[in-house]
Structure 1
């Protein structure tokens, strides 16, 4: 069954942005230009498309487009003739792309006088492209809606910011990311784990497509359990499994982050917050460890892992970082 994004879907994720946009639509007071700022996965593009649907939909119910008419369906599939989307060509958005957009807008809309343009990663415009866009924003032609998207608002020219209504999107919650991953076929425990690890749906999905994250999760669970029950075995697991698996710096950083998530889960068990577990399938082992491990020991271990992350950033050998980390955790 086809799922479509509605205002209700985004209300909980963006409790500040959505009511303001819905109110503006209902009062017929949309600005001619918006700047959506927020992390990847926060819903900027989805909300932009929802606005475009409502802008053209003739069968709408209040602020909600019908999602079934020809306009809605073509916007959903990216082939509406009067909705123009611009994204970086290579590393940047170039002046020619904005000039082409301006040329398109000099023509009357294919099916109406209305036009919408959505510019993704607007912070990646060249200086000449930004100046061209600025002129475009200063002289909106006809029934026009501009939606600019960015993950890096600080890089946007103040003159562009001042000509658009700014909307700050909250970062996506781990629960929201995990539920979307599950909807795309990723097993629930793995989805919860990847959402907590990355905080980013696209990154989480990319990790899920390989088997590295699954292997790393298994090794971290073994290493951490041994560290708190059989530290003599932990050193062997480190040498035989952890070090060979964590070859790249990013993988090493993620491995340490997985350790932090494990320690946090142990604290959650002691606090009676089982519903917050990232490693939910490991609960029975956490229950046993929670009885024999003090909160002071767990918090000290978390501090040691954070210290290890700092050493890693300073290009200290991963072998030395990990051996020292295991030793300091064992020493308490």
Structure 2
């Protein structure tokens, strides 16, 4: 989905303000580095900046009109004066940067301005990074470079020093939730998904992912069995959890969902019902929250955090879950 200036301004107000000021004052840097975690809108902002530079009738001197030929072609990734470089396999190679330099030694096809965007700039090989450095040291007139990275510490300090760095911050879960619902996601799905990911595209993939839908049901069912005898909970692990959660990242996601469920119980006790994410289970959770102490919930959440830490330390996932369930069950008795 092509995002408008107004939408991006809501998501990254500081970045958009800096870009707007540069455009209006005619003081664009010759090279920008957009840095921040995945899903924070770096690529969207690189596209809107590109359109602002090349737009034939920019609104108020900075906002792209979205209607002219240049705007439309940039949206369709086929403007002759805009070049996008992405990793070829696992890395961006020297020959890719050299091809870019050769292209930029020519005059712009349709205007004096030429723009290049390097996606995952941190994945440049050493030779590629050194070639880019020479390019940045002697920038061509009317050329704008935009580098994107999720790993700023992997960028050569000499490259960093030649770029204007703009840092992208994650959307708050509440803003993410509002945006997802505004764009058509079910009201019952948005709260959970906004807590799981800050990546807009991943969020909509999760909303239609049957594995994720089933994972939520299994997590809720597992919690309900914690009120029974130990054998019942361990059987639930064998019959459902171990069948559905196979990879390490799936276990981690399952633990995230379990943690969110315990947070919901705590929010209910604190009178913060508006922060509940398992909306469909609200009535059950309200009843269960009355039967558990806040201290016990806090201890159980600490156990889940510890399980996540052990999972990253390569502990056997099945053994980890069995130990966690027994520990959670110790604290699940009625107060």
Q: Does structure 1 residue 45 correspond to structure 2 residue 37?
A: no
Aligned to 1:12: 10
Q: What count of residue pairs does the alignment treat as equivalent?
A: 330
Aligned to 2:260: 261
Q: Does structure 1 residue 34 correspond to structure 2 residue 36?
A: no
Cα gap change, 1:280 to 1:229, in 2 (>3 Å): farther
More deviation in 267-276 or 138-147?
A: 267-276
Q: Does structure 1 residue 331 correspond to structure 2 residue 330?
A: yes
- Residue pair 1:118, 1:147 contacting (<8 A) in 2 also: yes
- Residue pair 1:6, 1:64 contacting (<8 A) in 2 also: no
- Residue pair 1:134, 1:160 contacting (<8 A) in 2 also: yes
Aligned to 2:105: 106
Q: 1:93 Cα shift?
A: 0.7
Q: 1:246 Cα shift?
A: 1.4
Q: 1:326 Cα shift?
A: 1.9
More deviation in 62-71 or 238-247?
A: 238-247
Secondary structure at 2:84 match in 1? strand
**TM alignment of 1:155-174, pairs within 5 A:** 155-174=154-173
Q: Deviations over 1:151-196 (max 9, x none)?
A: 0000100110000101110023334544565577654433432332
Secondary structure at 1:147 match in 2? strand
Gaps of 5+ in 2: none
Gaps of 5+ in 1: none
Q: 1:147 Cα shift?
A: 0.5
Q: 1:315 Cα shift?
A: 3.4
| CA distance in 2: counterparts of 1:317 and 1:148, whole angstroms | 40
- Residue pair 1:119, 1:149 contacting (<8 A) in 2 also: yes
Aligned to 2:87: 88
| CA distance in 2: counterparts of 1:164 and 1:304, whole angstroms | 44
- Residue pair 2:91, 2:125 contacting (<8 A) in 1 also: yes
Cα gap change, 1:171 to 1:80, in 2 (>3 Å): same
Aligned to 2:311: 312
- Residue pair 1:178, 1:192 contacting (<8 A) in 2 also: yes
- Residue pair 1:253, 1:309 contacting (<8 A) in 2 also: yes
Q: Deviations over 1:220-266 (max 9, x none)?
A: 01111332477664333222111221122221121111111111111
Secondary structure at 1:12 match in 2? helix
Q: 1:133 Cα shift?
A: 0.8
Aligned to 1:273: 272
Aligned to 1:25: 23
Cα gap change, 1:40 to 1:274, in 2 (>3 Å): same
Cα gap change, 1:198 to 1:228, in 2 (>3 Å): farther
| CA distance in 2: counterparts of 1:181 and 1:6, whole angstroms | 16
Q: 1:38 Cα shift?
A: 0.6
Aligned to 2:78: 79
